Structure 1
Amino acid sequence: MSSIHHHAPDLLRIATAGSVDDGKSTLVGRLLYDTKSVLADQIDAVTKASVDRGLEGPDLSLLVDGLRAEREQGITIDVAYRYFATPARSFVLADTPGHVQYTRNTVSGASTAQLVILLVDARNGVVSQTRRHAAVMALLGVPQLVLAVNKIDLVEDAASVYAEISAEFAELTRSLGWSAEQVISIPVSALNGDNVATRSENTSFYDGPTLIEHLETVPNLTDRKQVGLRFPVQYVIRPRTPEFPDYRGYAGQIAAGRVSVGDEVVILPSGTRTTVSQIDTADGQLATAHTGRSVTILLSDDVDASRGDLIASAVDAPEPVQQFSATVCWLAEKALRPGARLLLKHGTKTTQAIVGSLEVLFDEQNLSLVDAPDTVELNQIGRIAIQTAEPIAADDYQVNRESGSFLLIDPQGGNTLGAGLVGDALENLHLTAAPELV
């Protein structure tokens, strides 16, 4: 096995989410500070800026809200990726904004996360944005959740407040399909560091792990189902030089699975079968390459393949489709209506698409489904029917995240309008608590 495969379990991909002013930037800054993942001069600069503002100690949110425009508005406006490590594990953290209009960033940041830290302000408890984020995490198939009940130092009778918030969140996540083992609540004060890296004496009612202890020891879960090779062709390399007169390589990044020299593969959507003859990289040839590796694949036969095609394992290749149902999180101000003509981007393939019927709308506040809505509005989630001009080789999202997701794009402006999941992700949510469904 390659070294990449050996070390992969030591890296945990996490994301943060929550409402505005719940303290996400402070919590992320605290994680970076307590794991000594920031330079001394950065700490000095933050401390000086904090003192200039009249604060007694460093405002750790300044470690992550680095853009002047963000600080002036007092909000974080994009997904920022942070890297930190402890002796036990390395982490990549997607820090997403809290404003409801930036749900698209939450979707982006959480789509590859193995664990999401969802913050609530202890003074406010579970709010509508908490329920929205939890619903999005459930649809995206995030395998593990941490509810960080922040600002626990600012409430009276913290034990009762924490117990009430934890119970309400447990009921919510159970309704959305998580088991009790997948969800944990931790009372924290990101500002003071309570239960982030060190156990707090101020929360004697809590006997669980600190946040960092939990992050270090939580199982490193990958996709629930392992699939064979999924390799979207990004471009075809044909040097046409005397040294390589017949070279034809297919370059891209392995979206799922692994590939080895000698493997039988199928080119989709054409269905042509062949075998892998060579795997090239910038560092030389490989016998085997795994998910996430950028490679150039050479095939034994002269096949007709180009950008947008998918090279897949012949054993479990997806069936190309042109008509299918999909769950969509709508991210545009202008509502989605039946008959909309859009562009659909799946992997490296972009094709024209028409939206058919709007089948159901998910009410994440009441955990219920509304049949046949007229529109899907900004930040709403619904199941729709789609027809594409060309076939796409997509897996059901529940089978594989990477090969089961797509984007809907405005053909005029090129803006992303929606994030889609192939198949009915809504059916996997446990919505029995909704009286509308009875």
Structure 2
Amino acid sequence: MAPLLRLATAGSVDDGKSTLVGRLLYDTKSVLADQLDAVERASVDKGLSTPDLSLLVDGLRSEREQGITIDVAYRYFATPKRSFVLADTPGHVQYTRNTVTGASTAQLAVLLVDARKGVVAQTRRHAAVLALLGVPRLVLAVNKTDLIDYDQAAFSVIAKEFTAHAVWLGYPENAVLAVPVSALHGDNVATRSPNMPWYAGPTLLEHLETVPIAPDPHDAAFRFPVQYVIRPRTASHPDYRGYAGQIAAGTVRPGDEVVVLPSGLRSTVDRIDTPRGPLDEACAGTSVTLLLTDDLDVARGDLLASATAAPAVTDECRATLCWLSAKPLTQGTRVLVKHGTRTVQALVRELRSRFDEQTLSTVAAPESLGRNEIGSATLRLSEPLPLDDYGDSPRTGSFLVIDPADGDTLAAGLVGERFAAPGT
């Protein structure tokens, strides 16, 4: 089976992201014949001499931007070298929160800019969110180069500015690549462009096919949020007690010692059950039922973790918040925190800083956080939670902030200060 790369696309409105995604699908022959026929007919009706590849994806996007749905759209395509899952996020600034969703599992992100406009505010905002989420590699696709006569100097200015921005955000320079493309004509998307002989780097697809893939979190310390306790109490299973859920990080085997958090009780894994039978080993992303050698008080919301590398259990944490709500966050706000399968009440005890992704600076002790702003806060929790630093374990180092009044999601939270105020 070809290796899998998870990537996300982001960019401002009208930078040509629909056309680029459509071009990737078209050039990798990932479009069904009837879809392509429909696009060709629609293009003729619009008076175009070539297929408008943006129509392959714009149907869903137009619905999303009209408010019908604002979900991230996932596209699937493949080449002989690699399979791809592409999270296509909308470009409007009010939907920046969807970049958080699309990038949360991405191993690489493609940011688009219009070659005529260069790096704009939304580009810097998206780059900051991607750095915040720990997406390890960035590609800047400088699109519409045909509209600047494939000018090398203009491309170089944009590439230099963006690379400097990404390096400040913490990216190694070799983790950032700028590619000049014209999605409309296919220049440097899947095939090398004769219009830009001055560009010696890979095409976008060549880079996607060959870039090293960050390993899945199988080697991290074991983490297992308990979703459901299985106790059938039948004649054939009178004493069965299993804990069902999905492994968030690491690997588990029968005989491994685990600790139940937040209680601190310890036991040993006796068996790993699945619908297809027991396993000798299970790793991150696998849904299983774990049986322990001891009959402990374990409930939904508890976390089973490696006894030798357990997370800290705390009722207070510093976290970075990507604020998603139109309702601003202020000190003293009462919220709910959903961490794994447990939800607890919390108080925003302190707003420590706000990150300005445009000036690459932090403002200490802001009065509030508004929609799409990123900041650091101290949360007081009503019950202790087992929290990892987001950099060590993204699944158990992240949480949702929820409005207790109506259940709306207010923020994505990452344990630790990703962009701290100076001197902290």
Please indicate the TM-score interval, normalised by the length of the shorter structure: over 0.9
Partner-residue secondary structure (3-state), 1:274: strand
Which amino acid in structure 2 is aligned with residue 266 of structure 1?
A: V
Deviation string for 1:112-151 (max 9, x for gaps)? 1110001101011000000111111111111100000011
Q: Percent identity?
A: 65
Task: Tell me the equivalent position of 1:144.
Answer: 137
Task: Tell me the equivalent position of 1:361.
Answer: 354
Task: Tell me the equivalent position of 1:342.
Answer: 335
Contact 2:12 2:92 in 1 (8 A): yes
Partner-residue secondary structure (3-state), 1:378: coil
Cα offset for 1:68? Answer: 8.2
Task: Tell me the equivalent position of 2:384.
Answer: 391
Cα offset for 1:228? Answer: 1.4
Cα offset for 1:67? Answer: 3.2
Partner-residue secondary structure (3-state), 1:107: helix
Contact 1:251 1:296 in 2 (8 A): yes
Does residue 196 (structure 1) correspond to residue 189 (structure 2)? The answer is yes
Cα offset for 1:358? Answer: 0.4
Contact 1:327 1:382 in 2 (8 A): yes
Which amino acid in structure 1 is aligned with residue 280 of structure 2?
A: A
Separation in 2, partners of 1:76, 1:34 = 28
Q: TM-score, normalised by structure 1?
A: 0.93
Separation in 2, partners of 1:78, 1:369 = 30
Which amino acid in structure 2 is aligned with residue 237 of structure 1?
A: I
Spell out the pairing of 1:240-259 with structure 2 (5 A cutoff): 240-259=233-252
Task: Tell me the equivalent position of 1:186.
Answer: 179
Deviation string for 1:286-342 (max 9, x for gaps)? 110111011111111101111111011111110111101000010000100011111
Alignment match of 1:272 (pick from 265, 277, 285):
265
Does residue 205 (structure 1) correspond to residue 198 (structure 2)? The answer is yes
Which amino acid in structure 2 is aligned with residue 117 of structure 1?
A: V
Which amino acid in structure 2 is aligned with residue 190 of structure 1?
A: A
Task: Tell me the equivalent position of 1:297.
Answer: 290
Does residue 227 (structure 1) correspond to residue 223 (structure 2)? The answer is no
Task: Tell me the equivalent position of 2:372.
Answer: 379
Which 5+ residue runs of structure 1 have no aligned equivalent?
1-6
Spell out the pairing of 1:92-171 with structure 2 (5 A cutoff): 92-156=85-149, 158-171=151-164
Cα 1:195–1:75, aligned 2, differ >3 Å: closer, same or farther? farther
Partner-residue secondary structure (3-state), 1:32: helix
Alignment match of 1:306 (pick from 299, 308, 313):
299
Separation in 2, partners of 1:387, 1:358 = 12
Alignment match of 1:317 (pick from 293, 306, 310):
310
Cα 1:321–1:79, aligned 2, differ >3 Å: closer, same or farther? same
Cα offset for 1:72? Answer: 8.3
Partner-residue secondary structure (3-state), 1:426: coil
Cα offset for 1:73? Answer: 4.6
Equivalent residue pairs, number: 423
Which amino acid in structure 1 is aligned with residue 158 of structure 2?
A: I
Separation in 2, partners of 1:56, 1:414 = 50
Separation in 1, partners of 2:60, 2:93 = 20
RMSD of equivalent CA atoms: 1.9
Separation in 2, partners of 1:312, 1:318 = 8
Partner-residue secondary structure (3-state), 1:399: coil
Which 5+ residue runs of structure 2 have no aligned equivalent?
none
Cα 1:317–1:119, aligned 2, differ >3 Å: closer, same or farther? same
Separation in 2, partners of 1:188, 1:391 = 50
Cα offset for 1:45? Answer: 1.2
